[in-house]
Structure 1
Amino acid sequence: MIRSAALDDVPEILTMIRELAAYERAEEQARATGEQLRKALFGEHPAAFALIAEDDDTGATMGYALWFPRFSTWTGTRGMHLEDLYVRPQARGSGHGKALLAALAATCRQSGYDRFEWWVLSWNTPAIDFYTSLGVELMEEWKVCRLSGEPLEELAAQAPQAAAPACDG
């Protein structure tokens, strides 16, 4: 069963975020708090949305997908960015990941989104094989750019005084 996340799911989502970070060999980078997640998913202006995959028999949480809208200047339309897709190890291969992706694809179509995009680590061949079996186009020519920490602070300090105001999202 796939359903929209509820406020009560925040602790379980946070646990799965930590599980995903451990799988991706980046536990130290998963610093989000329950309060941050509550605000991001259920605040006045949600920054993201989440789906929960549950076991049909037990109702146990088997995985989650967390996404947010994006915008393409090329198509002039919104799209979906999948930030996290995670299925617990004991549930992999049972259809939960595909069901989450299918629900997200349906949300894209219903919302008029033209694109559904996400990143996958280059060493995660099980995920890559799964995605390509669904017809996903791997964008090999693109590289992800990230600016954070001290380099972000240094560049921000160089902004002209008339820089754009902070976004509340």
Structure 2
Amino acid sequence: MPTIALRPATRTDVPEILAFVRELAEYEKLAHEAVATEAGMTEQLFGERPAAEVVIAEVDGQPAGFALFFHNFSTFLGQRGLYLEDLFVRPQYRGLGLGEKLMVHLAKLAVERGCGRFEWSVLDWNEPAIRFYRRLGAVGLDEWTVQRVSGQALRDLASGEVGGGLR
């Protein structure tokens, strides 16, 4: 029986975190979007104002999976929430319950931290992940769609240079 352990990531884990991110991006057919750097990730995770946290899952001392998460806020609840940005288990470690252990760990953190929600997004074609999340009790929010502004569109919006200018 393999030994499974979950632990908070440290600064020295950044190269492994980036490896997980790239493997996840490859799986999601989004490798071209995975442009994070070691320096940037180190600053964002372990700098003066960390933007997110990471939990590493290990099997017999080897990095096998990770979850990257951060807090958001619900004005309707008047409470912060926990948002899961990435969950990934390497293929050779799937079937050992690592994904569920990571999700249970994050749910416990959310409850301990007084969060009113634990939420995440999943690609609509990722049926195995959707089945997994439904098994854990997750409910899809079909009436909501994700909106995003990034790259040049973000810079244009920040400067007011969109749709003929903002009023």
TM-score under structure 1 length normalisation: 0.91
For residue 87 of structure 2, what is the aligned residue in structure 1? Answer: 85
For residue 17 of structure 1, what is the aligned residue in structure 2? Answer: 21
Distance 1:37 1:150 in 2: 22
Aligned length: 157
For residue 144 of structure 1, what is the aligned residue in structure 2? Answer: 146
Query: How much is the aligned-residue C-alpha RMSD, in angstroms?
Result: 0.9
For residues 128-162 of structure 1, the C-alpha deviation after alignment (integer angstroms, 9 at most, x for no partner) is: 00000011011111101011122222222118xxx
Q: Determine helix, strand or coil for the equivalent of 1:127.
A: helix
Distance 2:138 2:128 in 1: 14
For residue 53 of structure 2, what is the aligned residue in structure 1? Answer: 49
TM-score under structure 2 length normalisation: 0.92
Distance 1:121 1:21 in 2: 12
User: What is the CA distance between 1:89 and its match in structure 2?
Assistant: 0.7
Counterpart among 60, 63, 67 of residue 61 in structure 1 = 63
Name the amino acid aligned to 1:98. Answer: E
Distance 2:129 2:92 in 1: 15
Aligned-residue sequence identity (percent) comes to 50
For residue 164 of structure 1, what is the aligned residue in structure 2? Answer: none
Q: Determine helix, strand or coil for the equivalent of 1:141.
A: coil
Q: Determine helix, strand or coil for the equivalent of 1:3.
A: strand
Distance 1:117 1:79 in 2: 8
User: What is the CA distance between 1:41 and its match in structure 2?
Assistant: 1.0
Pairs within 5 Å for 1:88-127: 88-127=90-129
Distance 1:139 1:111 in 2: 24
Distance 2:48 2:152 in 1: 30
For residue 164 of structure 2, what is the aligned residue in structure 1? Answer: none
Note the residue ranges of structure 2 that are not aligned, 5 or more in a row: 162-167
Distance 2:45 2:153 in 1: 28
Distance 2:25 2:15 in 1: 15
Distance 1:102 1:25 in 2: 27
User: What is the CA distance between 1:93 and its match in structure 2?
Assistant: 1.6
For residue 165 of structure 2, what is the aligned residue in structure 1? Answer: none
Distance 1:148 1:4 in 2: 29
For residues 58-91 of structure 1, the C-alpha deviation after alignment (integer angstroms, 9 at most, x for no partner) is: 2100100000000000000000110000000111
